[in-house]
Chains A and B, each alone.
Chain A
């Protein structure tokens, strides 16, 4: 007695193969949708913005005349912001991850923290903006300053860095930790000499991707009340500033069509920055992947 009737199987083969082909086409279309939209976007931005891209664009401040407009204040603001956000968010993020993975005992309280860090990653950025406004700008009296914005942005990307660092720390084999502990090393010596060196590629990749999210964020800056037109560059962490996405946002709101092209030029700069940062992350990930 055979359970498989080979004749009816042969009859059904055609329709199975057809189904396979149709689905392949659908999935290809799904992939192409995103790619095509991105290509159109890039094409439009480049054609619109390229005529405004020049050295002067980087060295002049914003202006009422589109031809004289530049991003000096915005790009310096964005760079200063990142210079503050990177150490703050990485110290807090890696510290939290190391505590949760290496030091914290497993109990209800730490489970609660772990779950809520993932939840925090889903909180809309405008909410973080409100939080920054209430706590850093007003309660701590930092005002509309680089520092207030940096703290807000750090908080915004903290969950991403924590989760990436946790993954990286967790992927270090237990055998390596055991070898270290068995020689009388303390937890901190083991973390510093064994765990972190092995986890650093993962931590850096996650952190750079998180920072590239922060550099493009606009909503928290809008809520904080960061100005869009500044004729000076920040001279301390307490001075006010503007950032690239804010500047672009402002230009796209202008009624003059020429400013839309200036905005496109700004977008080219911002996207180039993002692509560079993401490439660095990919490079680090590929270079240091799995050495054990």
Chain B
């Protein structure tokens, strides 16, 4: 599998910068089965901090499954088995005894369909801090404002914090979900096709937000939209049938892919 950067004569600026960054996630020989269906095959990926890493590939290639193993959300599905390692900040999260609640406090997730709680906007954002034991109303108020500002939705909702989050539009709901995820002050944000249920304008807003967020967070985003991956990511991994075909700088993947299958996919010949 071609997962590491190929030696080149001239190393571009971006790549040097990236190489100097620390790793957030390293998967080593990661395998995953749904019953007998081998969904992830020997995945080796090294994901750097403060970058946007996009995962692309056709439906059923394992990209969503992969991102869900990174915060062990695959565990909510019975009959899932895994082997190999996922090293997050130096610790194997698949090891027995690793406390998944701690991991998920540091790794936030934004889902495909906006899934706010049937509660007020305020309560949605305060949910994370509350479950982690913050009761002080002043601190909660500050977290709510900071998170909503962080998700670029503060101005739209500041006068209606007590309204039900369901009264918002789909695009706003998704940014509420991003704000909710920022409220636990994560280290990494996982986004599983966050714009697939949104209209083009809301999509644009979320994409701009991702650019803003990468200054502070490491972002891993699954997308079926190749233009989106090209627009917003620093690195791109191409998945096919549960394998990583190519993982490289986004510029490189989209201009000069090393693998024929990557080229076929990004030029729209399949998928």
Contact = CB atoms under 8 A, between A and B. Distances in A.
Interface of A: 105-106, 173-186, 189, 193-194, 197-198, 291-292
Interface stretch (B88-96, B99-107, B147-155, B199-207): B99-107
Nearest to B105: A184
Contact of A198 (B78, B118, B128, B180): B118
B128 A184 contact: yes
Contact of A182 (B71, B113, B116): B71
B177 interface: yes
Given A184-B102, A184-B105, A184-B184, A179 B117 contact: yes
A180 B127 contact: yes
Interface in B156-193: 166, 177, 180-181, 184
B9 interface: no
- B-side binding surface: helix, strand, loop or mixed? helix
B73 A181 contact: yes
How many of chain B's residues touch chain A, expressed as a range? Answer: 20 to 34
Contact of A179 (B101, B115, B130): B115
Most buried by A among B104, B105, B117, B130: B117
A269 to B, nearest CB: 40
Contacts, number: 67
Contacts of B180: 179, 183
Nearest to A194: B117
B108 interface: yes
A106 B79 CA distance: 10
B115 A175 contact: yes
Contacts of A197: 118
15 contacts: A106-B78, A173-B115, A179-B111, A179-B180, A180-B117, A180-B127, A180-B131, A182-B73, A182-B104, A183-B184, A184-B105, A186-B131, A193-B131, A194-B117, A292-B166
B109 interface: yes
Given A183-B184, A184-B128, A185-B131, A178 B105 contact: no
A182 B128 CA distance: 10
Contacts of A105: 78
A181 B104 contact: yes
Given A183-B104, A183-B128, A184-B104, A178 B166 contact: no
A193 B128 CA distance: 11
Contacts of B103: 184
Interface in B122-138: 127-128, 130-132
A175 B103 CA distance: 19
